[in-house]
Chain A
């Protein structure tokens, strides 16, 4: 039991980026735009954070926080591509998300080669420091964001408008809501959150950015969105579950009872659970109704 409690900080370290990115994915989908580019956006964020931290670590006190800011900004900027393609130009959202993912891998390592003359960023000496109880501040950031996003989505008119755009954009438009604006806002928010998530991941879990840093965390976040059925509560729970599974895959060697299991057992659980629940709950539609469908003004 003590070893399980002792694992709590590591678990939260894994959960935080997944939860933050999943919140971003949730916002975009609630507004009607699928964002399978989460993985790529996290990569861009992680690269931005690792680069600025590696360069500024010695000269700027608190450069970790500045790095997180850079990660958020990079994610926002990069998601503009997805927003422009899928909202303004009504492109297929899956295609443009795939493009984001491909561009991210190439683009970040390309920049590493230019800035650091190698295929990864320079390692930094100190990442983010854990707070009381060995818990990284990223866990608290994730928790605050979870609460804030719940409040915005369900207690503010803005959230209601945003959700309307994902359910029935034409009806929302007839009630005077600017669907394009709401969707842009949602996609940019998802980019900001995914970027921040990438920054959190790289600064707590490793010491530099490589093309293997994100390694599927964005896709786990995407799974958490649909397993959490597009609600903040559900997404929070799903991220906790999936993050725990990821942490167990890494730290199971320390736990006597689990040592015999292959590590792949835990790595695969998030994906397997999501797939199975998709089948079980297939009859009921939890997904926003208009997700994935470009909105055309004046049509229908």
Chain B
């Protein structure tokens, strides 16, 4: 008899721990990421490779420290941050739309128009130091905002599903970008001429700090965007209206919020984030304009970033750095005989697991029901 209460209290504490885990979005994200890594590790073991090599590559990306050679190179850290930047921005894009109850699968298209607009300004803009790249950045953000805003407007005005509309606009952006970029006289079928120096997002300070990596001014854009995101969502009337629309469109309409305007604005801001991701890649990682030959997949990976980051500014920053680490570690893995696609598999698994969150909740409910039933049984005795 004395053992019984101890046992039940033990059961209750276990349930409450699980409860808090499921209730906290951050804990679920961490759990899901760990699960993704575990599956990735198991997969590498299953194909007869050494998962230690994967973790060595990841460590080298994060810290610049090469375990096998015992050498240190800050360039890896710079490259990691560079790879993370567009992912964070696309994550913010997806997350901002999600806060308004929209699924922005179109970050890829908004990224492409941002990238293309920046390339055009880089080639044809005024070559004034300090002004040129700022114009390119603004053009990219504006183009992305326009591309996203269209979707929001169509959704608000004509109730066109944003999922289908953005998928279509992704491809329209892609083919439009290819067509327009090839119109540049000096362009061939895969690249344009080199950009003038004034258009590049280079920073000799950051390059010096990271031993000549491609890390540049884009990092400041990312930081500003994260702060802007947090401020708009959490601290302004606009953010409140957008979130209200996301929670319940009809209730928002009834309380005097202009829903079409809200949705258009939300998708516009989301598009601007993705457009900036395009700018950061176009002018940060390349010094010539690209005629795209396929998706860069930053927009799609941004979906994973936002899902893991729970659409908050801080969460998206952290999860963007995580996915940036995965993609930046790819060449290091390949050189250690680990197929680099393992990183994409982990990203994909994480998205699938995140989508199962509702499943975790169901298990919790089922547990709660069972506990209640047991209690009733005890009372009957």
- Does B359 interact with chain A (Cβ within 8 Å)? yes
Q: Do B352 and A103 have beta carbons less than 8 Å apart?
A: yes
Partner of A279, one of B103, B158, B357: B158
Residues of A within 8 A of B343 (CB): 106
Q: Mark A217-237, 1 if CB is under 8 A from B, else 0.
A: 001001100100000000000
- Judge if B286 is at the interface, Cβ distance under 8 Å: no
Distance between Cα atoms of A223 and B165 in the complex (Å): 9
Of chain B, the residue at the smallest CB distance from A216 is B171
Which residues of A are found within 8 Å of B154, using beta-carbon distances?
A: 278-279
Interchain CA distance A282-B155 in the complex, whole Å = 10
* Interfacial residues of chain B within 101-121, with CB under 8 A of chain A in the complex: 103, 105
Distance in angstroms between the alpha carbons of A98 and B171 in the assembled complex: 16
A113 and chain B: residue at smallest CB distance: B339
Chain B residues positioned under 8 Å from A92 (CB to CB): 103, 355, 358
CB of A1 within 8 A of chain B? no
Min CB distance B296 to A, Å, is 13
- What's the minimum C-beta distance from B107 to chain A, rounded to whole angstroms? 11
- Tell me the residues in window 79-104 of chain A with beta carbons closer than 8 Å to chain B beta carbons: 81, 85-86, 88-92, 94-96, 98-104
The smallest C-beta distance from A53 to any residue of chain B, in angstroms, reads 21
CA–CA, A34 and B343, complex, Å: 27
Q: Are B168 and A275 in contact (CB under 8 A)?
A: yes
Cα separation A275 to B165 with both chains bound (whole Å): 6
Quick check: B168 and A106 within 8 Å, CB to CB?
Answer: no
| Binary per-residue interface labels of chain B (327-371) against chain A in the complex, 1 for a CB within 8 Å, 0 otherwise | 000000000000101111111110110111111001000000000
Q: Which B residues touch A294, using CB under 8 A?
A: 358
A215, closest chain B residue (CB): B294
Partner of B294 from A94, A99, A212, A265 at Cβ < 8 Å: A212
> B307 on the interface (CB 8 Å rule)?
yes
**A36 is an interface residue with CB less than 8 A from chain B:** yes
Q: Say how far B236's CB is from chain A's closest CB, in angstroms.
A: 27
- Are B341 and A106 touching (Cβ within 8 A)? yes
Q: Is the C-beta of A262 less than 8 angstroms from some C-beta in chain B?
A: yes
Quick check: is B303 within 8 A (CB to CB) of the other chain?
yes
Stretch at the interface among B61-69, B175-183, B247-255, B372-380: B175-183
Judging by beta carbons under 8 Å apart, are B163 and A271 in contact? no
Q: Would B172 and A85 count as touching, CB distance under 8 A?
A: no
Chain A 1-30 per-residue mask, 1 if CB under 8 angstroms from chain B, else 0: 000000000000000000000000000000
Quote the shortest CB–CB distance from A167 to chain B (angstroms): 17
Knowing A85-B355, A85-B356, A279-B154, say if A110 contacts B167 (CB, 8 Å).
no
Contact of B351 among A99, A105, A107, A110 (CB under 8 A): A99
Q: Are A103 and B345 in contact (CB under 8 A)?
A: yes
Main secondary structure of the interface of A (DSSP, over half): helix
CB of A252 to closest CB in B, whole Å:
14
Could you say which residues of chain B place their CB within 8 Å of the CB of A81?
352
Q: Is the CB of A103 within 8 A of B348?
A: yes
Q: How far is the CB of A151 from chain B (nearest CB, A)?
A: 28
Using A88-B359, A98-B303, A99-B352 as known contacts, say yes or no to A226 and B164 having CB atoms under 8 A apart.
Answer: yes
Interface contact A89-B362, CB-CB below 8 Å: yes
Q: Which range contains the number of A residues in contact with the other chain? A: 35 or more
Contact B178 A95 (CB under 8 A): no
- B345 / chain A contacts, CB cutoff of 8 Å: 103, 106-107, 110
Q: Say if the beta carbon of B159 comes within 8 Å of chain A.
A: yes
Whether the pair B349, A90 counts as a contact (CB closer than 8 A) is: no
Contact A268 B176 (CB under 8 A): yes
B341–A109 touching, CB < 8 Å = yes
- A98 to B359 CA separation, bound complex (whole angstroms): 18
* In the bound complex, CA of A18 to CA of B66 (Å): 47
- Contact between A278 and B164 (Cβ–Cβ < 8 Å)? yes
| B82 at the A interface (CB under 8 A) | no
Q: Is A299 an interface residue (CB 8 A)?
A: no
Any B CB within 8 A of the CB of A152: no
Q: Is the CB of B354 within 8 A of A95?
A: yes
A277 to chain B, nearest CB (A): 10
Partner of A113, one of B158, B168, B304, B341: B341
Nearest chain B residue, comparing its CB with the CB of A285:
B159
B354: chain A residues within 8 A (beta carbon): 95, 99
B229 within 8 A of A: no
B192-217 interface (Cβ within 8 A of A): none
> Known contacts A101-B348, A226-B164; can you find 6 more A-B pairs with CB under 8 A?
A81-B352, A105-B341, A271-B167, A271-B175, A274-B168, A275-B172
Q: Which residues of A contact B (CB under 8 A)?
A: 34, 36, 81, 85-86, 88-92, 94-96, 98-107, 109-110, 113-114, 212, 215-216, 219, 222-223, 226, 262, 264-265, 267-268, 270-272, 274-275, 278-279, 282-283, 287, 294
Q: State the 10 A-B residue pairs at the shortest beta-carbon distance, nearest first.
A: A106-B344, A103-B348, A89-B359, A102-B348, A99-B351, A99-B352, A91-B355, A282-B158, A113-B339, A110-B341
* 18 chain-A/chain-B pairs, Cβ below 8 angstroms: A85-B355, A91-B357, A92-B358, A95-B354, A96-B352, A96-B355, A98-B300, A104-B348, A105-B297, A106-B344, A107-B341, A109-B344, A110-B344, A215-B294, A223-B167, A271-B169, A274-B164, A279-B154
